[in-house]
């Protein structure tokens, strides 16, 4: 069965420090992979996505993620965190197959707290 695991429920980093949020997935074929961010009381905003091609993808707000097929991972990184990055981060997996219904499986989310 498809699944997404975000091992870190809560992460605290200092402003200006680097960040890596982990995401592992279980999927039978080549997946579509996404990272979304949810600020308090808001909807989800897409940070970046991987469909195919270059395994290092760049997103908005200075985020990037790397698809590692051998490790079934799609970790999110940012070299220098800003206080405004404090939010909930969700990794999600979708199907790349022609039978794709658009269904996304989400991880449990990682809460990022930024210390001044």
Partner 1 sequence: DTAVSQTPKYLVTQMGNDKSIKCEQNLGHDTMYWYKQDSKKFLKIMFSYNNKELIINETVPNRFSPKSPDKAHLNLHINSLELGDSAVYFCASSQDRGEQFFGPGTRLTVL
Residue 17 vs 46, nearer CB to partner 1: 46
Which residue spans within 1-116 are E strands per DSSP? 3-5, 10-14, 19-21, 24-26, 31-38, 44-50, 56-58, 64-68, 73-78, 87-95, 105-106, 110-115
Residues 40-59 that bind partner 1 (CB under 8 A): 42-46, 49, 51
- Nearest approach, Cβ of 80 to partner 1 (angstroms)? 26
Which residues here bind partner 1, judged by CB under 8 A? 32, 34, 36, 38, 42-46, 49, 51, 88, 90, 94, 100-104, 106, 108-109
């Amino acid at each position: 069965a498809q699944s997404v695991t975000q091992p870190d429920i809560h992460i605290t980093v200092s402003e200006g420090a680097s960040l890596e949020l982990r995401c592992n997935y279980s999927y039978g074929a080549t997946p579509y992979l996404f990272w979304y961010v949810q600020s308090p009381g808001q909807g989800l905003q897409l940070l970046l996505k991987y469909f195919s091609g270059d395994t290092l993808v760049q997103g908005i707000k200075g985020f990037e993620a790397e698809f590692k097929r051998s490790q079934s991972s799609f970790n999110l990184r940012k070299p220098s965190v800003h206080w405004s990055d404090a939010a909930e981060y969700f990794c999600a997996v979708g199907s790349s197959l022609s039978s794709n219904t658009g269904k996304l499986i989400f991880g449990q989310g990682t809460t990022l707290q930024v210390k001044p």
